[in-house]
Structure 1
Amino acid sequence: MNESHSLARVDLNLFRIFVTVAQRGSTGAAAEELHLTQSAVSHALGRLRQQLGEPVLVRQGRHLVLTPHGRAILPKVQQALTQLQGCMGQGEGFDPRHSDLTFRLGFRDILEAMVLPRWMQELEQMGSPLSFTSSRVRGNQMAQRLLAGELDVAVDLERPVAAGIESCHLRDEPLVLLLGPKHPAFGQESFSQADYQASHHVLVTLQAEERAFVDQRMTGLQGERRVRLHCETYFAAAQVVAHTQLLLTMPATYGTHLASLLGLEVRPLPFDCSPLPIGLYWRRSSSEQAGLVWLRERLQQALAN
């Protein structure tokens, strides 16, 4: 009887605030994301502490960290909130014109350039209040960040999925070669594998296992590329190519876009190379949420085109 009365008085918003603070590490960052004042977030944590009978977060330096009790209940709270959100979305569909959700995307610079400009233009035209947060995610951190609720979806090379993660194939992306006007082969019809291997290259830095995954698909390449420069993003690498004799090997769709912007040539690779399989990943517990169903379908449409 007392337990039922206690549960009836629980404010679910307190748990939502708890999860956000746990993810962001401070009441200030959580307040900004939730569109609340910092004092309101602090007050909510105090009320949650009173209702639970012990703290879930404690201050450590400039950050708030989970207590043992907080670590124990966080996954259960996240799962419960996800299930409740899914129930609310059932049968109602999702209308981006009337939703103020914020979607968290695990994108690399390629997808940010290919997808976000068109999405934001379309949403602005329809008067949608939707917002997005895009961040670069490394493959070995993807499952952890999805399961923790830090990301709603992620797009990456296809890889085995962890428990609790769903995935689907998005597309096969071929690799192409970009060269600039200072390269001796610019404007020339022929470009051989010998030319490729004699040239110097700019390489976009990947994790070791990703680099191996890409290199393994270059079945026709004999020997290694002569890499002069490592970059973090393809846009920076393409700008280097525009002003030097260096070559850049990169995914075709974004490569074609950058070539049109920077006056570069796009060439097929002068050897056999299998395309890169690209996958979409999300939490299994969010599979039926109407907003995230819309988001996944929208991503599939964007990349299919």
Structure 2
Amino acid sequence: MHHVLRRLDLNLLPVFDAVFRHNSVRLAAIELSMSTSALSHALSRLREFLKDPLFYRDGHKMCPSVYACQLAPYIAEALMALNKHLCPAQPFNPRTSDVSFKIAVTDYTAFCLFPGLMKALKDEAPHLSFELCHLPHNPALNELLAGEIDMALSFSEPGGLNHPDLEETDLFSDEFVVISTEQRSSLDLAEYLSAGHLVVTPWNEKQGLLDSHLERLGLKRKVVIKTPSMLGAPFIIAESELLMAIPSYVASKISQTAKVRIFKLPFEAPRFTVKIYSHKRSGKREPTEWIKSKIVRSVTEKEYCYTSAECREG
């Protein structure tokens, strides 16, 4: 029984896992507190034992072989299980814990969720901290699977694909509306298509979400500005003739500070759902589940909607 494991130095498995996740001997050595030469020697021993190159250098990256890609999920799962059961974590106490969460966000999801969350945590979990990072793509699948982030706050449209290793927690639904300068008095489809548009592309995607819907309708809008950040966009709209499609919750808040007018979209587009994405085998399982519950509660205690009655009819 376990004839392979009896011959294998199990200390080599974290080496494999770290190189696979980082695609780098140097970064793997830093994570494991080893010298690069020691890690390279350990990797050579594993290659010899498994009779496979495992990784090959491509520029500055260590790329996995086919066999390494097959092994990686099993090794990662085994290491995570051993870490969990051999070193059981202390019960999570939010009042005393100083856990730090790394969460991938967009401007939109941070704007919607963190004001209410931080207010809710002020007394109940005063020592928790957060590192918010740019969501590199939707829904940061690779980063979640590699354990580089604890959660991702993003959104999806109806019919989006689900990954079997990710948990999705629905928070609220929203829809796009259009903001323009206060001087505009109406907005129909012809006016929408003839105007210039500012489009927020948080993942530097080639086209905005609504452009895909317009394509299916055989229509196209004129994009004048593309930006990954939503922060300055409404103030550009207030001083120009451009239009901007923006989630209705943000529009309702922005209209209180920027001199803009809100209109309904002059074409049909599906609502989208804001979600928490997390890994089913998170290394911070109990703290992660607790903070997810607090996010959900902060949403239910706050009105995340925008009534269409406040939009002017185009």
Give the alignment's TM-score, normalised by structure 2. 0.67
The alignment partner of 2:231 has SS state of helix
Q: 1:235 aligns with which of 231, 235, 252?
A: 231
Q: Is the 8 A contact 2:151 2:276 kept in 1?
A: yes
Match runs of 1:60-79 below 5 Å? 60-79=58-77
Name the structure 2 match of 1:253.
Answer: 249
Q: 2:259 aligns with which of 264, 268, 275?
A: 264
The alignment partner of 2:131 has SS state of strand
Deviation (angstroms), 1:71: 2.7
Distance 1:97-1:67 versus aligned 2 partners, 3 A rule: farther
CA distance in 2: counterparts of 1:31 and 1:95, whole angstroms:
33
CA distance in 1: counterparts of 2:113 and 2:40, whole angstroms:
37
CA distance in 2: counterparts of 1:19 and 1:133, whole angstroms:
25
Q: Is the 8 A contact 2:173 2:272 kept in 1?
A: yes
The alignment partner of 2:224 has SS state of strand
Cα deviation, 1:144-191, whole Å, max 9, x if unaligned, reads 5544445543322141213333323221113233234xx522xxxx53
Q: Is the 8 A contact 2:15 2:43 kept in 1?
A: no
Distance 1:23-1:8 versus aligned 2 partners, 3 A rule: closer
Q: Is the 8 A contact 1:89 1:290 kept in 2?
A: no
Distance 1:170-1:228 versus aligned 2 partners, 3 A rule: same
Q: Is the 8 A contact 2:179 2:251 kept in 1?
A: yes
The alignment partner of 1:235 has SS state of coil
The amino acid that maps onto 1:175 is F
Name the structure 1 match of 2:126.
Answer: 126
Q: Is the 8 A contact 2:174 2:272 kept in 1?
A: yes
More helix as a share of residues:
1
Q: 2:287 aligns with which of 281, 284, 291?
A: 291
The amino acid that maps onto 1:173 is D
Distance 1:133-1:81 versus aligned 2 partners, 3 A rule: farther
Q: Is the 8 A contact 1:90 1:290 kept in 2?
A: no
CA distance in 1: counterparts of 2:206 and 2:299, whole angstroms:
24
- Unmatched tracts of structure 1, length 5 or more: none
CA distance in 2: counterparts of 1:24 and 1:229, whole angstroms:
35
Q: Is the 8 A contact 2:192 2:266 kept in 1?
A: no
CA distance in 2: counterparts of 1:70 and 1:77, whole angstroms:
10
Identity of aligned residues (%): 17
Match runs of 1:41-80 below 5 Å? 43-44=38-39, 46-47=41-42, 49-50=44-45, 53=49, 56-80=54-78
CA distance in 1: counterparts of 2:9 and 2:283, whole angstroms:
30
The RMSD of aligned alpha carbons is 4.4
CA distance in 2: counterparts of 1:257 and 1:202, whole angstroms:
18
CA distance in 1: counterparts of 2:42 and 2:95, whole angstroms:
33
The alignment partner of 2:277 has SS state of strand
CA distance in 1: counterparts of 2:130 and 2:40, whole angstroms:
26
Q: Does residue 1:157 correspond to 2:156, yes or no?
A: yes
CA distance in 2: counterparts of 1:78 and 1:232, whole angstroms:
34
The alignment partner of 2:72 has SS state of helix
Give the alignment's TM-score, normalised by structure 1. 0.69
The amino acid that maps onto 1:247 is L
